[in-house]
Structure 1
Amino acid sequence: MVRAVFLIVLCLLSIRSIADDLPDLGNAANAVLSPQQEYELGASVMKELKSALAISNDVITTEYIHALGYRLLATQSQSQPNYQFFIVKDKTINAFALPGGFVAVNTGLILATEAESELAGVLAHEIGHVQQKHIARMYAHAGRLRLSTIAGMIASIIIATQSPQAAQGALAATLAGSQQALINFTRDHEKEADYVGIQTLAKAGFDPMGMPTFFHRMYQDTRYHGNHVPEYLMTHPLTEARMVAAQSRAKQFPYKQITDSLQYHLIHARVTLYQFPSPREASNHFAKVLARGNYRNRLGIIYGYALALIEEGKPSAAKPYLDELLAAIPDQPLFHLAYAQMEMGLGERDMALEHLATTLKNHPKNYTLTLTYADWLLRCGKTTDAISFLQKQVAIKSNRHEFWHLLSQAQARAKQPLKSHLAQAQYLKLTGDYLGALTQLRLAKKITPLSVQDAKQIEAELKIVEKLQPTKS
C-alpha cells in the first residue's frame, strides 16, 4: 500500500513540464493555488495517508527530523509555510513532499544514510519540491490532461486501500501512452529540487556533497542488486546526467569537514531498534555490533543497546550501559530520559518521576521530556498534578496537539466532561480533524448546567472551526 500511495503522490508531482531555469513563482503557480489552498490540499492528502501509512509516533525521532528540517528552512529569505516533518515506519528507502509544507521520510531511508548531511540532503531536496510549487504547477498544466487520467489516479487511490498490486496495475494502465512525458516532467522537477536543496544544505552548514553522495550510493546499489531498485530512485528518477549536475553544483561550494551531531547517531540507533520484530533481536544486534567494534559512534550503539534491553524487560542489565553514557556526557537529556525509563522498568516510579522532573528543570524547553513527564504523571495516577502541569504547557505551547490530548484524558479521568470535550476539540482542530472537533464542541454544548461564559466560549470555538473547514471547489 505504501508503494502504491507513493507512486500516486509522485505522479501528481510529475505532470508539469518546466523550463531548465528556475521559474518565477509569482506567476502561474500562485495564480492556480493560494497558500491556503495548498495547505488544504496537503492536509487533505495527509489525512488519507495517516489512515493508509504507519506514521511514526516516536516523539524523539520526529522532533529530531522537525529540528533538522527547520534548520534548513532558517536559511530561506522568502516566507515559508508552516512545515510539518513526519516519519513513515517503512523499511523501504523513500521520502516525499506534499503542498503546504508536509514532508515525510521513511525509517528505511534514515538507516540508509551514512552521514547527517546525507539525511539533511534528502530533506532539503523535498523542501525544494514544496518551494518550487511542483504540485501547483501540475494544476496549471492540468488543462492538458484527459479527465479520464485524473479520474484514474483517484480510482487508483481508492483501489490502494484494498489491494496494493491492483492499485499499481490500475495506475500503470491509467498513465499508459503518456509515460515518457511523465518521466521527462519528473526529471525536470528532480533537477530543480536538487538545485534548490544543495544551496540550502550549504547555507545551513551541512556538507553540500551529502546529497549527491547519497544519490551516488543509491545508484551504485542498483548495479549490485540487479532488478531491485530502491523506492527512492523509483519515485525520484536518477539519471547519470542528473547525478553529474548535482555533484558539479555541490563542488561550487568551498569544502569543509562536517562532523555529524551526536543526536544523529542516537536517532539512527532508535530507528534501528524499532526496525526489529522484537526487542530481543534488537539487543542481540547491538551486542554483536559492540563486540565487533564496527560502528561510527560508540555512544549511539550503547544507547540503542540500553533501550533494547529496557524494552526486552531487562532494565537491570541496561544500567551499566546507561551509567557509561552519563559518565561520557552528563547533561545529555536523552541519556537521562533512558535512565528514568530504566527506573520505571524497575518499578521505581517515584524515583523515575523525580529524575525526569530534575532533568526537565535543566532543559525546560525540551519538548520530549515535557511530554513524557506529563504522560508519566497520568500513568502513575497523579491526575491532579498532570492537569496542573498540562494547563501550564498549553498556555505556553498552545499549538502542540499532544498536550491537548493528554489534558483531555486527564480531565475525563477527573470527571470534568466539559473541559475534557473542549480540550479534545482543540486537539482535533490542531490535527486537522475539523469534523471531529465540531462533534466535541457540540457534545460540550449539551452538558448541563452550562454557564453563560462557557456557552459563549463554545459558540466562539464553533465559529472558528467552521471557518477552518476546507473550501469546496
Structure 2
Amino acid sequence: MLPNLGDTTSITPSAERRLGNRIARELYRDPDYLDDPVIMEYVQGIWQPLLAAARTRGELPPELDEQYAWTILLGRDRTVNAFALPGAYLGLHLGLVGVVTSRDELAAVLAHELSHVTQRHIARLISRQSEQTPWLIGAMILGALAASKNPGAANAVIVGGQAAAIQTQLNFSRDMEREADRVGFGVASQAGFAPQGFVSMFEKLQQSNRLNDSGGFPYLRSHPLTTERMADMQARVPANGAAAPVPQWEHALIAARARVLSNPAVDALRNWYSEAEPARLAQQSSMQQAATLYGATLAATKLRDFALADASLGRLAIAAKGDPLAARQVRLLAAELALAKGDGPKALAALGESMQVGSRAELLLQAQAQLQAGRAAQAGQLLQTWLADNPLDALAWQTLASASAAQGKTLAAIRAEAEVNIAELDYTAALARLKAAQDRARSGTQGADHFEASIVDTRTRQVEQLLKEQALER
C-alpha cells in the first residue's frame, strides 16, 4: 500500500475554489453542458454515498468539505472520460455514463476523481508552477477544454513552448494516480459498491484509450492506465468479490438515456428505431431489450414522432415491469413524453400521487406538468419549497421564473432569472437582471411587491460584492 503523499501545497482551499469557480463559469456556458435531472439524480445517488464514505474514512477534512463545491457537471461529449477540476468541480461525459454496465463501474470512476480532490492532487500540481499565477493555469485548463473538441482552438488560449510545458506538467503523476486508485478503492468499498467495479472499469477505459486516443491535451483525457495499476486493483478485490454481477436494469436504462442525449443528430436518433425492431430485439437479453426500447422511446420523443414513442413506451412498460427501479424510470419517461405532447394532466397521471422524497427529477417534471395543466401557483409553491433547501439549482429557478410569469408576478420572475445566473456563476448577467427588477419595482408597474423588492435589493448588494471580489482576483 502506498503512503499518503501528504499535503505540500501553497494554494489555499479557498483560492483553489475561486480558481474552480472561474473554470466552471465557462463550462456552464459551453453548448455541451447539460443538466438532465434524470441522469443527474442517478449520478447523485452514487456520488453522495461516496462523499459520505470519504467523510467516514477521514479522507475529507472539514475545511475542504465546507469550502469546495462538490459539484458534478454533465457534458454531452461522447468520449469515455471524467475529470476533476480545482475546487471539487467534476466533469462527467455522457459517453462514459453510456458505456459503463453497472453502478459499481461508475462509482469506481467517481471515487477515483473524488480522491484526486481529497488528496489535493490538483492543488499540488498548481503549487509546482510557482513561477506562474494560478489564474494562468486556469486559462490553460480552459484551453485544454476547447482543445478536447477542436485541437486547433487551443492555439487561441495556449501559445508558445512555455505554455505547452506547463500543460504537460498538469498531468497527474504516476504516484498520484496510484494514490487515487488506492484511496478511491477504499472509498467505493466503504460506500457499499462492488470492488470488482474498479477492475472492469479500468478495462473499459483502457480499451477506449486504444480506440479513441486522438493525441489531444492529456489533462482532459482518461488517465493512462497501465497493466500494473489494473493488477493492483485486481489484487485488492477480496476472494469473494468477483462474483457474477447482478443485472442492473435501472442502470441499463440510464445508460441508454445517456447514449441518446450524447448524440442528438437526427440520423443517430432514427437509428434507435431500427435497434428496436422485433428481429433485433429477439437477439438481446431481456434487460438489453428494455434498454433498447427506452432509447427508442426517448429518441422518438425528441423527434416528436409521438405515435412511435407511444408504441415503444407500451412495450417498454411490459419489459421493465418486473424491476421496481426500472419501472420508476419508465414512469418518468412517460411523464416526459406527455410533457413533449403538451399534455400536463397526463404527465401528472404518469407521475402518480406520491412523489419519491428528495427526487429532483420527479419534482421538476411535476412542476412542469402543473404549469402545462394551468396550475402555476401549485408549481411555484412546489419549487419554492425545494429551492429553500437547494438555492443553487439553476433549472429549478428557471422553472420558477416561468411559473411566476404565468401568475403575472413579473418582479419575482425577473429575480428568479437572476438566480439562474447566480447559480451558474455569471454574476454580471445576474446583476443586469437584478437592476432591471429594481427599475421595475421603483416604477410601481402593476403594483409594488414590497417583499420581493426587498429581496431584490439584498441580492443586488450581494452580487455587487461578488463582482468586486472577482475584479480583485483579476
Q: Give the TM-score band, short-chain normalised.
A: 0.7 to 0.9
Q: Distance in 1 between matches of 2:148 and 2:164?
A: 26
- Change over 3 Å in CA distance of 1:145–1:244 after alignment to 2: farther
Are the structure 2 counterparts of residues 209 and 172 from structure 1 closer, same or farther at C-alpha, using a change threshold of 3 Å?
farther
The correspondence of residues 5-404 of structure 1 with structure 2, limited to 5 A, is 21-25=3-7, 28-29=8-9, 31-34=10-13, 36-52=14-30, 54-77=32-55, 78=60, 79=62, 80=65, 81-143=68-130, 153=140, 156=143, 164-165=151-152, 167=154, 171=158, 174=161, 182=169, 186-220=173-207, 225=211, 234-248=221-235, 250-251=236-237, 255=241, 257=243, 259=246, 261-274=248-261, 275=263, 277-278=265-266, 279-287=269-277, 289-294=280-285, 297-311=288-302, 312-314=305-307, 315-325=309-319, 327-329=321-323, 332-343=327-338, 349-356=344-351, 358-359=352-353, 361-395=354-388, 397-404=390-397
Equivalence for 1:410: 403
2:421–2:430 Cα contact (<8 Å) kept: yes
In the aligned structure 1, how far is the partner of 2:417 from the partner of 2:168? 47
SS at match of 2:91: strand
Bigger shift: 177-186 or 317-326? 177-186
**Identity in percent:** 27
Q: Which runs of 5+ in 1 are unaligned?
A: 1-19
Output the CA distance in 2 between the equivalents of 1:158 and 1:316: 39
Q: 1:153, 1:174 within 8 Å by CA — same for their partners in 2?
A: no
Does the CA contact (< 8 Å) of 2:46 and 2:107 recur in 1? Answer: yes
Distance in structure 2 (CA, Å) of the matches to 1:340 and 1:459: 38
State the distance in 1 between where 2:117 and 2:310 align: 47
The unaligned stretches of length 5 or more in structure 2 are none
Distance 2:137 2:428 in 1: 27
Shift in Å, 1:60: 0.5
Q: Is the 8 A contact 1:117 1:207 kept in 2?
A: yes
Q: Once the two structures are superposed, what CA deviation does each residue of 1:408-467 show, in whole Å capped at 9, x if it has no partner?
A: 122223332221222222232222222222222222221222566555433322233334
Residues 236 and 151 of structure 1: CA distance in aligned 2, closer, same or farther (over 3 Å): closer
Distance 2:212 2:296 in 1: 34
Cα separation, partners in 2 of 1:169 and 1:392, compared to 1, 3 Å:
closer
Q: Name the residue aligned to 2:455.
A: 457
* Maintained 8 Å contact 1:319/1:342: no
Is this contact kept in 1: 2:158–2:164, CA < 8 A?
no
> Residue 464 of structure 2 aligns to which amino acid in structure 1?
E
The residue type equivalent to 1:104 in the other structure is: G
Cα drift, residue 290 of structure 1 = 1.7
CA distance in 2, matches of 1:232, 1:289: 40
How many angstroms does 1:118 deviate by?
A: 1.6
SS at match of 2:173: helix
For residues 80-119 of structure 1, what are the alpha-carbon distances to aligned partners after superposition, in whole Å with 9 as ceiling and x for unaligned?
Answer: 3441123211111111111222112212222332332222
Task: Give distance in 2, aligned partners of 1:445 and 1:166.
Answer: 40
Paired positions, count: 447
Distance 1:63 1:325, change over 3 A: same
Q: CA RMSD in A?
A: 3.8
1:430 to 419, 423, 430: 423
